[in-house]
Chain A
Amino acid sequence: AQSVTQLGSHVSVSEGALVLLRCNYSSSVPPYLFWYVQYPNQGLQLLLKYTSAATLVKGINGFEAEFKKSETSFHLTKPSAHMSDAAEYFCAVRPMSGSARQLTFGSGTQLTVLP
């Protein structure tokens, strides 16, 4: 079974600082990988997804993530944090041959941006 581990349930950064949210996956073959963001009282919004086309994936709101097969990682980064980035972030995985909707999510990382 596939799984994802998000290191750090809470991350705090200062406004303007680098954001780094960690995600490692467990799978016998490279899966599809996703990052979602959840703002308070809202559903999940897709930030970006890895589909094997390119290892460096650019998403919305200035976020990007790099797929590293040797490290089984898919960390999310943003060069300069903004106050509006404060939210919960989820890494998710699904097998390349599975259903498009059967995602397995990590437990999430709450990002706080300090003024």
Chain B
Amino acid sequence: ETGVTQSPTHLIKTRGQQVTLRCSSQSGHNTVSWYQQALGQGPQFIFQYYREEENGRGNFPPRFSGLQFPNYSSELNVNALELDDSALYLCASSSGPSTGISEKLFFGSGTQLSVL
């Protein structure tokens, strides 16, 4: 049990719709990152938030956006859903310096998104 919770666990949407996924970080963690894991692939970094500001982004289009709230919970929003957006979306929380190697990521169990 990592203390990182994601909701919902499963979601079905149709192409063109918008979706919001939620993540509650472990207590005391001020950083959250989001990953997309397509079937049979490793997770791919989407972006990260530190103290409510985006401070790193992977190779994902602008229709992937996020928010981090003062209580350090987070949302991932995806607009204009495409079939290829079907994947497991993982969030990970952490605390400490942004470049600290001693820092540990705590992953949630993910939200399985299916786009039909």
- Main secondary structure on A side of the interface with B: loop
Query: What 1/0 flags go to A14-54 for Cβ under 8 Å of B?
Result: 00000000000000000010000000011111100101000
Which B residues are CB-close (under 8 A) to A108? Answer: 40-42
Place the interface of chain A in its size category.
20 to 34
Indicate which residue in B2, B42, B100, B110 contacts A105 across the interface (CB closer than 8 Å): B42
Interchain CA distance A53-B2 in the complex, whole Å: 26
Shortest CB-to-CB span from A49 to chain B, Å, is 8
Contact indicator B43/A101 (Cβ below 8 Å): no
Within 8 A of B (CB), among A41-89: 41-46, 49, 51
CB-based contact A100/B100 at 8 Å: yes
Interface residue B105 (Cβ < 8 Å from any Cβ of A): yes
A43-B2, A44-B90 are contacts. A101–B41 as well, Cβ < 8 Å? no
- One of B12-20, B65-73, B77-85, B91-99 contacting the partner: B91-99
User: Please, which residues of chain A bring their CB within 8 A of the CB of B103?
Assistant: 100
B90 touches A43 (CB 8 A): yes
Interface size class of B (residues with CB under 8 A): 20 to 34
The verdict on A13 contacting chain B, using a C-beta distance below 8 Å, is: no
When A99-B48, A99-B55, A99-B98 are in contact, do A46 and B40 touch as well, CB less than 8 Å? Answer: no
Report the minimum CB–CB distance from B40 to chain A (whole Å): 7
Say yes or no: B33 contacts A101, CB within 8 Å: yes
How long is the Cα–Cα vector from A46 to B107 in the complex, in angstroms?
9
CB-based nearest A residue for B110: A43
| B21 CB, min distance to chain A CBs, angstroms | 14
Within 8 A of A (CB), among B22-49: 31, 33, 40-45, 48
Q: Which residues of B contact A41 (CB under 8 A)?
A: 109
Q: Which residues of A contact B33 (CB under 8 A)?
A: 101-102
A58 CB to closest chain B CB (Å) equals: 16
